[in-house]
Amino acid sequence: MSLFLVTGGAGFIGSNIVEELLNRGERVRVMDNLCTGRRDNLAFVERLQCPTAAFEFMEGDIRHLDTCRRACHGVDYVLHQAALCSVPRSMNDPSASNDVNVCGTLTVLMAAREAGVKRMVHASSSSVYGNSEVLPKTESQAPSPVSPYAVSKLAGEYYCQVFTKVFGLETVILRYFNVFGPRQDPSSQYAAVIPRFIQLALDGKPLQIHGDGLQSRDFTYISNVVDANLQAAEAPDAIGHVINIACGQTSSVLQLADAIASTLGRKLEYHHTPARTGDVRHSLADISKAQRLLGYETHVGVFDGLRNTVTYFQNVRARHG
């Protein structure tokens, strides 16, 4: 069994990765400062009845080198998910996004190198492409970030590539495209559109749509992202590469809203608000590189994933009244 460190492992994406690793019989160490992650997201650990040696939780901050050194000790693979993941948050507080996403990533890289980690998989973002009208987005396109969040993610990518070229630490960079699914937090003021829409719909409130709702995204169900991370940890030809992780199809915000209404079997009211500064208008991924280097395939499409996610939030609501 390998030992995986999942930074941000109590968060939305991280906890889903942890669950799959444990299901596969791997050993997992989670490091999370619980700023945006929640211990509740790891409740499945008790249900899985894993041996004590299979799972470890460390409350700690990726910006602290000594903490990262302890977290990386004895680790084979680092799956680096910890970040402040929000364009609006970065517009309000650019310094915080830089501190966590740039300085924190550099700190994890330094600790991983010192510990002799085999490989680090870094979670980046499609936001680095900016507002380029060229679709689909290919990894060879020049980045053109339009938010501090996007800048911070791009800087993290560059640090990973430098650590591979100069220090010999294997890294793989995954550019996520609008990930959604179970455990995504709908309550934050910076919540992503899908959990926010589902929560509003279940509350019987109008869906708040920024702008005209025709902005489109390559929405990507969480299980596809989990698969990509585990593939990237071991794919021999992926070292040093930036790789898009998405579904390779685009959906507008209005199409999402209509699909949620259809899934719930009810008509929903929409309320349009001004478009947000820093938002990208359209995004669509070319995923051929992921298919070639990782053997990646999209196993769950957007609308099947959306139905799964609605069901998840309905079940959570039923359990908690």
Q: Which amino acid is at 22?
A: L
DSSP string computed for 10-74:
TSHHHHHHHHHHHHTT-EEEEEE-SSS--GGGGTHHHHHT--GGGEEEEE--TT-HHHHHHHHTT
What's the CA gap between 56 and 2, in Å, rounded? 14
- Identify the DSSP state of 127: G
129 touches 137 (CB < 8 A): yes
C-alpha closest to that of 22 among 9, 35, 39, 36:
9
Catalytic member of 129, 149, 176, 296? 149
C-alpha closest to that of 296 among 235, 239, 250, 249:
235
- Identify the DSSP state of 271: E
Tell me whether strands 207-210 and 242-245 are parallel, antiparallel or unpaired.
unpaired
C-alpha closest to that of 316 among 189, 194, 198:
198
DSSP string computed for 272-318:
EEPPPTT--SB--B--HHHHHHH-----S-HHHHHHHHHHHHHHHHH
Helix (H, G, I), strand (E, B) or coil at 182: coil
Note if 221 is an active site residue.
Answer: no
| Residues forming the active site | 149
